[in-house]
Amino acid sequence: MPSHAESYGLFIGGKWIEPPQSRRFETVNPANRETVGSLVQGTTSDVDQAVTAAQQAFRGWKETPAPKRGEILLDVARLMKRSKEDLGRIVTREMGKVIGEALGEVQESIDFIEYMAGEGRRLFGETVPSELRSKFCLTVRQPKGVVVCISPWNFPTSIPNWKIAAALITGNTVVFKPASGTARCGAEVVKLYEAGGIPPGVLNLVTGSGSVVGNALIEDPRVRTVSFTGGVDTGRDVYVRGARGLKMVHLELGGKNPVILMDDADLPLALDGVLFGAFGTAGQRCTATSRLIVHDRVYDEFLGMLTDRLAQFPVGDPLDPRIAMGPVASADQEKKILEYIEIGKRDSRLRLGGHKLTGGSYDRGYFLEPTIFETKHGSRISKEEIFGPVLSVIRVPDYAEAVRVANDVEYGLSSAIYTRDVNRAFRAIDDLEAGITYINAPTIGAEVQLPFGGVKNTGNGGREAGSAAIEEFTEIKSVFVDFSSKLQRAQIDSETAA
């Protein structure tokens, strides 16, 4: 797996192909603007071929026993372990997150693929009693068919794997479209599945724009399920397009994740958590801590601790293991975050940071200062997703107000509370409107064996990862086996059956 700029075709029907007259696009390292990958700008005809290949491969893959499908996934995981360092470096070079986090992300991919391989020997259904004698009732899980996976740039290997491994173990075939900005990572993931022995057509890759490739995939009538992670506006559009075809559309969208810091919290512990939650991945996680809701009694002390530590927060080359925060992922990201910083300056108090970093090697990339605003609940920066290293700090008088503020946003992905009061911690599990709640830990860092997703505008009610991943990609069939050798009519004969 070389680390210089590399060129990829599309992967359709088990072959890497270069469509005639195809145009290409390049991905760029946000730390220094070097070219990282060259990929095909897919067209609607490429989409058509990929869906055809996936459809043709479906029956064979569905009929492959699930434990055998799991063995292939285990081989993919084994290969990924072997190339973890190389893949991690590509993640860092293409996306900009620091190398430790990139390796963590690749590990998350490996963990999930292994977890799903094990599912090949479970895929549990239910057995349920019948109201009639000599009758047996059960459910079985069946694949949906051709599944489309559209993934974002912020977790360019693990989010694709959350989708692909779950879709494959359950017997679906896949067409995968990675975010264009990190499409090389997507292609590298597909290469590992190819090397692990995935049969032709079972996993296909079409790179290119959302407006051409993404929309054509979502609208193809042969596709029954779309799994999408990305921004809320795009997600809404994906949902509407899918709805026209009555498709199952799985959405993982934004967040405005709060950490509540109570007056009895372990402040040094919370400090480490808030720094990691807010500035890890330069704040570009759906789960990033973007609001810190602090009890009045510890507000000044904690803000002092936070700004002291951030004054020595190393921002720079993300391949250097001493660096805590790399660049933001692209010029577009930088522009949007700087716009939010300007919005914040109008109605909030800029406490730290707020600038683009310049001089020396900073000039080659998209480096921003970690930024802290003191704001009031209701300001735009306190409510809108910024997706960058910008933390809004809000002072509250008590727990009740902290929860009110935490919940009064359109999203509900992750949430956290720091407190030593066990009753309050359990109360918060009940009170916080979010798909994920952490007690005495930051809002980021979900583990793969638990469901992942959120409430309100974070999605449309589904979850991925954990046991929920199986729900996402299967249809449930209810089966009634009558071994009485006579007609037994449910609801009518149940009283008299013998």
What residues have CB less than 8 Å from 4, skipping those under 6 apart? Answer: none
Is the CB of residue 386 less than 8 Å from the CB of residue 370?
A: no
* 137 is an active site residue: no
Closer of 155 and 302 to ligand UN1 (Cβ) = 155
What residues have CB less than 8 Å from 389, skipping those under 6 apart? Answer: 278, 279, 282, 283, 325, 328, 337, 353, 368, 369, 370, 371
What residues have CB less than 8 Å from 249, skipping those under 6 apart? Answer: 218, 225, 226, 228, 238, 239, 242, 243, 460
Q: Which helix (H) or strand (E) holds 139?
A: strand 135-143
Nearest C-alpha neighbor of 295 from the set 211, 398, 205, 201: 398
Cα–Cα distance measured from residue 172 to residue 62, given in angstroms and rounded to the nearest whole number: 7
Catalytic residue among 114, 119, 252, 369: 252
* In the complex, least distance from residue 20 CB atom to ligand UN1, rounded to whole angstroms: 36
Closer of 286 and 310 to ligand UN1 (Cβ) = 286
* In the complex, least distance from residue 5 CB atom to ligand UN1, rounded to whole angstroms: 26
* In the complex, least distance from residue 325 CB atom to ligand UN1, rounded to whole angstroms: 15
Nearest C-alpha neighbor of 24 from the set 190, 184, 219, 191: 184
Residues engaged in binding ligand UN1 (CB under 6 A): 108, 154-155, 285-287, 444-446
* In the complex, least distance from residue 443 CB atom to ligand UN1, rounded to whole angstroms: 8
* In the complex, least distance from residue 433 CB atom to ligand UN1, rounded to whole angstroms: 18
Closer of 178 and 201 to ligand UN1 (Cβ) = 178
Is the CB of residue 360 less than 8 Å from the CB of residue 414?
A: no
Catalytic residue among 286, 334, 385, 464: 286
Closer of 53 and 432 to ligand UN1 (Cβ) = 432
Closer of 245 and 451 to ligand UN1 (Cβ) = 451
Is the CB of residue 19 less than 8 Å from the CB of residue 207?
A: no
* 252 is an active site residue: yes
Closer of 18 and 272 to ligand UN1 (Cβ) = 272
HEC readout, 382-435: HHCCCCCCEEEEEEECCHHHHHHHHHCCCEECEEEEECCCHHHHHHHHHHCCCC
Is the CB of residue 249 less than 8 Å from the CB of residue 460?
A: yes
* In the complex, least distance from residue 257 CB atom to ligand UN1, rounded to whole angstroms: 10
Closer of 202 and 448 to ligand UN1 (Cβ) = 448
User: Hey, what are 219's tokens?
Assistant: 């609208």
* In the complex, least distance from residue 452 CB atom to ligand UN1, rounded to whole angstroms: 7
Cα–Cα distance measured from residue 472 to residue 459, given in angstroms and rounded to the nearest whole number: 13
Cα–Cα distance measured from residue 483 to residue 29, given in angstroms and rounded to the nearest whole number: 65
**Residues annotated as part of the active site:** 252, 286
